[in-house]
Amino acid sequence: MKIELLYFDGCAGHDALLARVTAVLAETGTEAELELRRVETEAAARAERFLGSPTLRIDGVDVDPGAAGRSDYGLTCRLYRTPEGPSPTPPDEWLWAALARARRQDAGPA
């Protein structure tokens, strides 16, 4: 399992998300490669399909369930649209769901 945290300098949300991801991985006993990736230009943001800082992907899939339908890529501070309102980090439930999906895919067909 590969986890990518994409960010750019200037948005503080990635520090909080990194701490939360690390804690959730420990809580769930999940071993994964965690890669921090800085996005530095608008061109790189478009190429990476970067929806803003921070963006968290597990096995290449954004943890935000609505991310696939978006195309507003760029160097912006990201706000996640959660049931509780806008947040600079995704809710833990999204992270747990994305980890569960990745574990099922890693396990293959039953």
Per-residue pLDDT in tens (0 to 9) along the chain, 110 residues: 999 999 998 887 899 999 999 999 998 888 888 999 999 999 999 999 999 999 999 999 999 999 999 999 999 999 998 888 999 999 999 999 999 999 888 776 65
CA-to-CA distance for 73 and 44, rounded, in angstroms? Answer: 10
Pairing of strands 55-58, 2-7: antiparallel
**Domains assigned to the chain:** 2-107 (3.40.30)
CA-to-CA distance for 77 and 55, rounded, in angstroms? Answer: 10
